[in-house]
A and B are shown apart, each in its own frame.
Chain A
Amino acid sequence: MTAMDASIETRLQRLEDERDVLRPLYQYGHTLDYGPEDAFLDCFTETAVWTQAGRFARPETTRRFEGRGGLIKLFRHHTHAPEIYHKHLLVEPRITLHGDEASVESYYVRIDEHPEGAYIRAFGRYRDRVVRCPDGHWRIQQRLTETEGRNRKDFPPAPWTDLPLTVR
């Protein structure tokens, strides 16, 4: 292999990695909004941690779902279509690659249905750590959901209110 080939291979790998890092980030929104559960869980490693923090976070309100068990409960206590239609929009992902790990900062906007019409329920930022798994797929190891703006409308009801703050 020539130096030119190696360089092209490395550069191509970088582009593929950036594309593949996006896969679980987009899959997250689609599967949380529509299911199925196993595709949602496939966005994460077995030991992944999902945390909700940010502007509205206080120690007594910070939610944490840990590991496969926690993420199953996150999914099952969340609304999905067709019972409730909503969208988790992810935009402007900024990906930084570090070999088999990546850090990503992206915006999210959640749009929900409401008896009075569709509305923006919340917006904020995702801060993710994504890792390349042994099967070659990238999965989320850590997702920090920073909610920065939230609408007071309460339809559909907020998920997880009947769960403890830390779920495993």
Chain B
Amino acid sequence: MITAATSVEARLRALEDEGGVLATMYQYGHALDYGLRDEFLDCFTRSGVWDSRRCDSGTTPVGHYAGHAQLAGFFDRHTHAPSVYHKHLLVEPRITIDGDLATAASYFVRVDEHGGEVYMPGFGRYQDRLVRSADGRWRFEERRVELERWQKREPVVEQ
């Protein structure tokens, strides 16, 4: 039998879980854009996977990194502020919680600065699977990056 108290507890927990999932999704962009390596890796479980494929040319694989060692390599090869400024904008997250698992679909838009012009290299969709870790934090078990349009100019790196 569900009492009023447990019902409130469950409803509260659902809101907290959605907030926790969203916090990880936001942490990803901030960490990648500003070069916060530990924060970036902390978004993923130890065996977490980042997988990307282009959808504007079939389903061409772009990259697949599994586990923190490979994710660290991906992070180190990615640009960050202050050498290159860009933004991974995440909007319209649709989060579904199922116990200690969550799925989330969201849009992303990448905004860059290039030689005095601001432009959008691309946009697409994130398809995420997250799990509640032992410390209570939600982390990506898999982030699938669907690049629907991608046309990046060579970065102008500030010395």
State the A residues within 8 Å of B (CB). 4, 8, 11-12, 15, 18, 55, 91-94, 105, 107, 109, 119-123, 148-152
A150 to B112, CA, bound (A): 10
Interface residue? B124 (CB, 8 A) = no
Cross-chain contact A93 with B26 (CB below 8 angstroms): yes
Cβ contacts under 8 Å, A120 to chain B: 111, 118-120
Q: Smallest CB–CB gap between B104 and chain A, Å?
A: 14
Number of A-B pairs, beta carbon distance below 8 Å: 66
- Chain B binding surface, main DSSP class: mixed
Q: Is residue B38 within 8 Å, beta carbon to beta carbon, of the partner chain?
A: no
Contacts of A15 in B (CB 8 A): 12, 15-16, 19
Tell me the bound Cα distance from A4 to B8 in angstroms. 11
8 A-B interface contacts by CB (under 8 A)? A11-B16, A15-B12, A91-B91, A94-B23, A120-B120, A123-B118, A148-B81, A149-B113
Closest-CB distance, B70 to chain A (whole angstroms):
25
Shortest CB-to-CB span from A58 to chain B, Å, is: 15
Task: Check A149 against B112 for contact (C-beta < 8 Å).
Answer: yes
Does B49 belong to the interface (CB within 8 Å)? no
Q: Please measure, in the bound complex, the distance between the C-alpha atom of A91 and the C-alpha atom of B33, giving whole angstroms.
A: 14
User: Could you say which of B55-63, B82-90, B147-155 contacts chain A?
Assistant: B82-90
Count residues of chain B with CB under 8 A from any CB of chain A. 28
Q: Give the one of A92, A105, A151 with max B CB within 10 A.
A: A92
CB-CB under 8 A from B9, the residues of chain A are 4, 8
How many angstroms from the CA of A109 to the CA of B107 in the assembled complex? Answer: 15
> B120 and A152: CB pair below 8 A?
no
A148 touches B113 (CB 8 A): yes
Given contacts A12-B12, A94-B30, A121-B118, 4 further A-B contacts (CB under 8 A): A91-B91, A148-B113, A149-B85, A152-B116
Nearest-Cβ distance from residue B5 to partner chain A, whole angstroms: 7
Q: How far is the CA of A121 from the CA of B113 in the complex (A)?
A: 10
Does the CB pair A18–B87 fall under 8 Å?
no
A105 touches B12 (CB 8 A): no
CB distance from A138 to the nearest CB of B (A): 17
Q: How far is the CB of A87 from chain B (nearest CB, A)?
A: 13
Q: Which residue of A lies closest to B113 (CB)?
A: A149
Instruction: Name the contact of A109 in the complex, choosing from B12, B23, B82, B89 (C-beta under 8 A).
Output: B89
The 9 closest A-B pairs by CB, nearest first: A149-B113, A148-B85, A120-B118, A92-B26, A152-B116, A151-B118, A149-B118, A123-B111, A91-B89
Report the minimum CB–CB distance from A22 to chain B (whole Å): 12
Complex Cα spacing A53 to B87, Å: 17
CA distance A116 to B9 in the complex (A): 54
The yes or no answer to B98 lying at the interface (CB within 8 A) is: no
B29 touches A92 (CB 8 A): yes
